Structure 1
Amino acid sequence: MAKLYRLLTEEDTAAFCHKVSDALAKGWELYGDPSYAYDENSRMMRCAQAVTKEVEADYSPDMKLGQQ
């Protein structure tokens, strides 16, 4: 059994909300509060949200976390 961690990031648009919603629908759980920061290069706000998930498999650095 392994506990996995992902940090989801995206510009502050509906795409970020959909990315987090998709992870929640796949069994990931929110971990901490979301973060926001201004990206000078794109001149947009960026969002970040950490999520975790427990899986039956042993952890491997080769795991495709988005497919778990």
Structure 2
Amino acid sequence: MLSIRKVRTASGPVAVQVVQYLGHKSVILKHIGSGKNGEEVFSLVKKPMSGLTTEQNGPPFLLSHIRKF
């Protein structure tokens, strides 16, 4: 199942990623972006949920399989 993950980077901003969990490992399928404040992170989390159905240079993924945290 695909999930949206928010991770704090070493330099401080929060990275928003679409990942797939395989057992105890996570595979990053798409890095959406990084935000420095809550508004930026919120807009990045909404981005894959609002019509992003294919990656520009990669395989498509289905929005119905994305789980939001």
Quickly name the TM-score band, shorter chain normalised.
under 0.3
Q: Give the strand-richer structure, 1 or 2.
A: 1
With the length of structure 1 as denominator, give the TM-score of the two structures: 0.25
Q: Determine which structure has greater relative contact order: mean sequence separation of CA pairs < 8 Å that are 6+ residues apart, divided by chain length.
A: 1
